[in-house]
């Protein structure tokens, strides 16, 4: 039985929205109504996030991916479009590489194909509770992750993410050559100044994946404003990609 908490809305081809590390499915709130006009939108909370439980001592991309597979099985969804944000993109990429028959189209948003010391430095910075207090999101995170163990559980959640992506041990560590096997139409979305998903690495992916589009957001770091003023354009561009003929 699937254990992930999820929401569902709309009708049409299944579309799974996979949120970034430290967030929850609520990350996609600004886009869900637009996507639901065209798709059956399934939005889970990852393992150890929001209302979904932890199943192991440590968080791992492979475990998160298998939990998404179990959810799709429970919902009788044999194949779906995947849109993954940051850590959710790592999950989407893992699913595409290891269970390609379950993926129709793929959108990788703010995520590369591997972690190294430089990119993990930015991830560690975002695992500092002080970062989220400074940007005024600590109360939101506290409310979202309260099911993980109370009002301070969010601090543990963001720490798990940094641990899951540590370069020496993470399972988000793919060879560039394996991306050549991705046959699904793919869209890469990245900010031109993102230290966590650097443009240089995204361009390597763009060159390796056979049927691949690229959208580079200008003057943008890992924080892309797709929950605020870019929300409408993000939903429009992704919808246009998902609806286009192969």
In a domain, 45, yes or no: yes
For the chain, what percent of residues have pLDDT higher than 90?
98
Question: Model pTM?
Answer: 0.97
- Per the listing, tokens 């430089």 go with 118
What does the pLDDT look like over 101-121, one tens digit per residue?
999 999 999 999 999 999 999
Q: What is the mean pLDDT of residues 147-159?
A: 97
In a domain, 227, yes or no: yes
pLDDT at position 44 = 98
pLDDT at position 245 = 84
Quickly state the pLDDT bin for 138 (edges 50, 70, 90): very high
In a domain, 214, yes or no: yes
Number of domains in the chain: 1
pLDDT at position 24 = 98
pLDDT at 18 over 90: yes
What does the pLDDT look like over 176-206, one tens digit per residue?
999 999 999 999 999 999 999 999 999 999 9
pLDDT at 132 over 90: yes
pLDDT at 149 over 80: yes
pLDDT at position 2 = 81
In a domain, 136, yes or no: no
In a domain, 135, yes or no: no
Query: Which residues face 114 on adjacent strands?
Result: 173
Quickly state the pLDDT bin for 40 (edges 50, 70, 90): very high
Q: Where are the beta strands (DSSP E) in 21-176?
A: 39-44, 80-85, 103-109
Task: Identify the domain containing residue 97 by its residue range.
Answer: 6-117+167-241
pLDDT at 246 over 90: no
How far, in Å, are 21, 131, 143, 173, 222 from residue 123 at the CA level?
9, 11, 22, 15, 10
In a domain, 128, yes or no: no
Quickly state the pLDDT bin for 215 (edges 50, 70, 90): very high
pLDDT at position 1 = 72
Residue 7's CB: how many other CB atoms inside 10 A? 15
pLDDT at position 69 = 98
Quickly state the pLDDT bin for 221 (edges 50, 70, 90): very high
Q: What is the DSSP string of 191-215?
A: ETT-SSS-HHHHHHHHHHSSSEEEE
pLDDT at 95 over 90: yes
Q: Of 69, 81, 85, nearest to 30 (Cα)?
A: 85
| CATH number assigned to the domain comprising residue 41 | 3.40.50.1820
pLDDT at position 126 = 92
In a domain, 60, yes or no: yes
In a domain, 76, yes or no: yes
Quickly state the pLDDT bin for 145 (edges 50, 70, 90): very high
Please return the burial class of 206, using the count of CB atoms within 10 Å of its CB with bins 0-12, 13-18 and 19+: middle
């Amino acid at each position: 039985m699937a254990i992930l908490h999820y929401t569902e809305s709309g009708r049409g081809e299944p579309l799974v929205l996979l949120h970034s590390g430290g967030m929850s499915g609520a990350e996609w709130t600004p886009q869900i109504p637009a996507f639901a006009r065209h798709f059956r939108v399934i939005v889970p909370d990852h393992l150890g996030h929001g209302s979904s439980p932890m199943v192991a001592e440590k968080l791992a991309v492979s475990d998160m991916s298998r939990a998404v597979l179990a959810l799709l099985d429970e919902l009788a969804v044999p194949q779906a479009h995947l849109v993954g944000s940051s850590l959710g993109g790592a999950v989407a990429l893992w699913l595409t590489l290891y269970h390609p028959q379950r993926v129709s189209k793929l959108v990788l948003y703010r995520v590369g194909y591997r972690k190294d010391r430089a990119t993990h430095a930015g991830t560690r910075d975002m695992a500092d509770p002080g970062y989220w207090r400074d940007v005024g999101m600590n109360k939101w995170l506290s409310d979202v992750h309260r099911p993980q163990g109370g009002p301070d559980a969010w601090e543990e959640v963001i720490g798990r993410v940094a641990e899951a992506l540590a370069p020496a041990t993470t399972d988000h560590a793919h060879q560039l050559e394996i991306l050549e096997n991705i046959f699904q139409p793919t869209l890469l979305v990245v900010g031109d100044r993102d230290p966590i998903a650097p443009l240089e690495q995204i361009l390597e992916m763009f060159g390796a994946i056979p049927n691949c589009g690229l959208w580079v957001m200008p003057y943008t770091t890992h924080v892309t404003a797709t929950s605020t003023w870019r929300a409408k354009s993000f939903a429009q561009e992704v919808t246009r990609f998902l609806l286009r003929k192969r």
